[in-house]
């Protein structure tokens, strides 16, 4: 075990970054728990667009989401050697499903071909000087603002799913029923986590997630898709449903013939700015930027993120934080 620890430390420069293998393991568990919602939300969003008659593609979309996340994260870890997890982007998948497919009537196979092409363009940008030129032209304030905006968007999703925020015909959004069980569970979890963070307790976010989950299960609160937790009817471990109907279903030639250049360009721009903002925010918090505020090994980092876009069409992927120094403080990752 000591030899494995030394090997990991040498390859990933863990101690040099002010962290430890134990901290990284704890941070990895925290990251997984904070990102696990993607496994359910992303198939739900893409399910509005990706359909086949008589076939429930939900389990296949879930498996595809997991595979794309695993591939992107491994590329980011083993190639770029960055403690960053890569998962589907919640803004881009909504644009794909509701704007491109539903509103513009583009077949979902053709739209996936556009995603694939945009990933190749992003990869080309990442391995050439074009990325450096574009990245240098983005003001630092905008890079950090993008990261903050992503955080606020995710917080909005959490507030909506917990009932803290509901729709309103006049103001679009308003405060929900704070005495409802899902809202109380959410508030309890946030307060517990905030108290632990203020006292600098190691694993504060992880503890807050576990405690809130336990409260929801014991109280029978309807927080699991509007229903109380019903256990594991298929067992704790079950074989995944392989994405047989989705594998290589993309239509690259169709995307080129339909003239989807504007959609492909939109995909590429969103991917580039999303990745730049997310990674700068993560790396800045982890102390992994150079003296000029640029990413170290930037070409490898962006190439790893772009490769996830190419391999994961669907789903559409982007970076999620898993920073070392942030992990040591158990900040959101």
What local confidence, expressed as pLDDT, does residue 196 receive?
93
Kindly report the backbone phi and psi dihedral angles of residue 86, in degrees, each rounded to the nearest multiple of 5, phi listed first: -115, 130
> Does the global pTM surpass 0.75?
no
Q: What long-range pairs does 228-231 form, CB within 8 A, spacing at least 24?
A: none
Q: Is 272:134 a contact under the CB 8 Å cutoff?
A: yes
Would you state the structure tokens that stand for residue 232, as one six-digit string?
Answer: 């594991």
What local confidence, expressed as pLDDT, does residue 170 receive?
87
Sign of the alpha-carbon torsion through 124, 298, 76, 28: negative
What local confidence, expressed as pLDDT, does residue 330 receive?
43
What local confidence, expressed as pLDDT, does residue 195 receive?
94
What local confidence, expressed as pLDDT, does residue 190 receive?
92
What local confidence, expressed as pLDDT, does residue 94 receive?
81
What local confidence, expressed as pLDDT, does residue 193 receive?
92
What local confidence, expressed as pLDDT, does residue 312 receive?
66
Mean pLDDT by 10 residues, the chain (333 residues): 77 81 84 82 85 85 87 86 80 83 86 86 81 75 77 82 89 90 92 92 84 90 79 77 81 77 83 76 73 73 77 51 43 38
Kindly report the backbone phi and psi dihedral angles of residue 226, in degrees, each rounded to the nearest multiple of 5, phi listed first: 80, 10
What local confidence, expressed as pLDDT, does residue 329 receive?
42
């Amino acid at each position: 075990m000591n030899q494995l620890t030394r090997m990991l430390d040498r390859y990933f420069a863990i101690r040099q970054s002010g962290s430890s293998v134990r901290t990284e393991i704890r941070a990895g568990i925290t990251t997984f728990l904070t990102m696990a919602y993607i496994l359910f939300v992303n198939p739900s969003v893409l399910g509005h667009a990706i359909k086949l008659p008589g076939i429930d593609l939900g389990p296949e979309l879930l498996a595809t989401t997991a595979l794309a996340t695993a591939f992107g994260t491994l590329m980011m870890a083993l190639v770029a050697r960055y403690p960053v997890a890569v998962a589907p982007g919640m803004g881009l998948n909504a644009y794909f499903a509701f704007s491109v497919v539903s509103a513009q009537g583009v077949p979902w196979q053709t739209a996936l071909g556009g995603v694939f092409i945009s990933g190749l363009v992003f990869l080309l940008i990442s391995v050439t000087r074009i990325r450096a030129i574009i990245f240098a032209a983005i003001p630092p304030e905008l890079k950090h603002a993008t990261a903050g905006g992503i955080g606020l968007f995710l917080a909005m999703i959490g507030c909506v799913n917990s009932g803290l925020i509901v729709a309103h015909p006049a103001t679009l959004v308003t405060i929900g029923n704070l005495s409802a069980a899902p809202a109380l569970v959410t508030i309890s979890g946030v307060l517990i986590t905030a108290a632990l963070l203020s006292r600098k307790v190691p694993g504060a976010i992880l503890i807050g997630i576990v405690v809130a989950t336990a409260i929801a299960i014991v109280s029978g609160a309807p927080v699991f898709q509007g229903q109380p937790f019903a256990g594991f009817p298929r067992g704790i471990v079950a074989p995944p449903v392989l994405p047989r109907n989705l594998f290589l279903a993309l239509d690259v030639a169709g995307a080129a013939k339909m003239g989807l250049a504007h959609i492909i360009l939109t995909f590429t721009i969103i991917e580039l700015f999303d990745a730049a903002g997310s990674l700068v925010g993560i790396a800045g918090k982890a102390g992994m930027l150079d003296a000029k505020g640029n990413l170290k090994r930037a070409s490898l980092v962006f190439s790893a993120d772009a490769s996830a876009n190419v391999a994961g069409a669907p789903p559409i992927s982007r970076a999620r934080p898993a920073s070392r120094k942030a992990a040591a403080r158990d900040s959101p990752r």
